[in-house]
Structure 1
Amino acid sequence: MTAEPVVYLLDDEPDMLKALARLLHAQGFQAQCFSSAREFLAHERPDGPACLVLDVAMPEIDGLQVQERLRERGAELPIVFLTGHGDIPMSVCALKAGAEDFLTKPVNAADLLRAVKGALQRASDQQVERKEMAALRERLASLTPRERDVLGHVIAGKLNKQIAADLGTGEQNIKVHRGRLMRKMGVRSLAELVRLAERLGIPPSG
């Protein structure tokens, strides 16, 4: 089963952590608190929708550095930044790097809850996309080398006889390979196949 959505709270001010946790728990959110960036970065996160409410100004490793380290790890964790010292360039930098929102302290409860809901929705959407992509890659891996060759030519819009000429085989063989790859990829039309190939980053064959 998918883990329950969780909101990670990272702030070096204990009172702020407690206040944020109380607010989120009161609204039915599961929250986990961290008082240092190192502690959070070392934490093993379960596979489930999650977001991070992150203080910018912290000792040793600040919020923007935490964001950078998560990005380097390939962690798709939507971030809501909180700061009492933030300026416009800092917020622009955070948002350009993919932050969900950037709020100033003292934070308005309604603004925080709106941002957290948006971040968790984004996390949920990302998880669905990851599962879909994993399933597509499994389908692609089930193709034989010849079917992969035919796939590239099919999505280029070529006719069976053109593909046969390109690959040095008979048109009937191409029909068979084409039918099999369509079934394995779970599509019924060329348009569907082209869309899946685009998602998988498969280029048309010249």
Structure 2
Amino acid sequence: MLDDEPAVCQTVSLVLGREGFDVISCSEPASFVGLCRETSPACLLVDVVLPETSGLEVLKELRKQSCECPIIMMSGRSDIGTAVQAIKEGAFDFVTKPFRGGDLVTCVRTAISPVKRNASPPIFHFPGRPPLTLRERDVLHELIGGRSTKEISRRLNLSPRTVESYRVNLMRKVSAKNLAALVRLGIAAVRRRT
């Protein structure tokens, strides 16, 4: 966990520790990135607002170094632009402080365990476009199934705002002008692969 506020680190360590998670806190971004390289974390929690750099820069660096574990971004400022940017850079989820302990535990559990589904979501292939993240594939699969943001948030244990962030990012990634175009492109991308 990377956060420059000792009280947040203590609270998160206590909440997750009670649930059997081992939590290592760090307040310095460079040390945190080095620690992630040396260990095999199951999940990372990264604060967006840090004194020396932004958590988004840390997220980019971790992804550049091929860190594939789920990264949950945290912020006391909940603006849709930051959430969209975090998802675009490969964050698993975006949670707003202050958060309830039970919600954080659920978020971490969801991140480290496979999403419960009847069948794996399809692999979408968009030639000339960056590949979709696992969570983007989940959301697109649900959108193709005709589910609303509220239904998707419930099924995937995400906040409605996070689902909206994924939807906006998906539309940008595949150059879809609206939701209907995104669904059409998604269906076509599955058909090309099969």
TM-score by length of 1: 0.52
Deviation at 1:97, TM superposition (A): 2.1
Residues 24 and 30, structure 1, Cα contact 8 Å, conserved in 2: yes
- How many residues end up aligned between the 2 structures? 114
Counterpart residue number, 1:45: 38
Q: Distance in 2 between matches of 1:68 and 1:107?
A: 24
* Cα deviation, residue 78, structure 1: 0.9
- Paired residue for 1:67? 59
Distance 2:27 2:108 in 1: 19
- DSSP-derived class of the 1:41 partner: helix
- Find the counterpart in structure 2 of residue 109 from structure 1: 101
Structure 2 equivalent of residue 170 of structure 1: none
Say which of 87, 92, 95 aligns to 2:84: 92
CA–CA distance in 2 between the matches of 1:86 and 1:75? 25
CA contact (8 A) 2:63 2:90 kept: no
Give, in whole Å, the separation in 2 of the partners of 1:81 and 1:23: 17
Q: CA RMSD in A?
A: 1.7
Structure 2 length as normaliser, TM-score? 0.55
Q: Please say which of residues 107-116 and 16-25 is displaced more in the overlay.
A: 107-116
Cα deviation, 1:133-191, whole Å, max 9, x if unaligned, reads: xxxxxxxxxxxxxxxxxxxxxxxxxxxxxxxxxxxxxxxxxxxxxxxxxxxxxxxxxxx
Aligned counterparts of 1:26 and 1:45: Cα–Cα separation in 2? 25
Query: Cα deviation per residue 1:72-92 (whole Å; 9 max; x = unaligned)?
Result: 111112111110023101001
Local SS of the residue matching 1:30: coil
2:15 alignment partner AA: L
Q: Which 5+ residue runs of structure 2 have no aligned equivalent? A: 115-194
CA distance in 1, matches of 2:39, 2:9: 21
- 1:45 Cα deviation after fit: 3.1
Residues in 2 aligned to 1:100 and 1:45: alpha-carbon distance in whole angstroms: 21
Deviation beyond 2 Å, 4+ runs, structure 1: 44-47
Percent of pairs with identical residues: 38
Aligned amino acid, residue 45 of structure 1: E
CA contact (8 A) 1:56 1:86 kept: no
Query: Aligned AA for 1:59?
Result: P
Corresponding residue for 1:17? 9
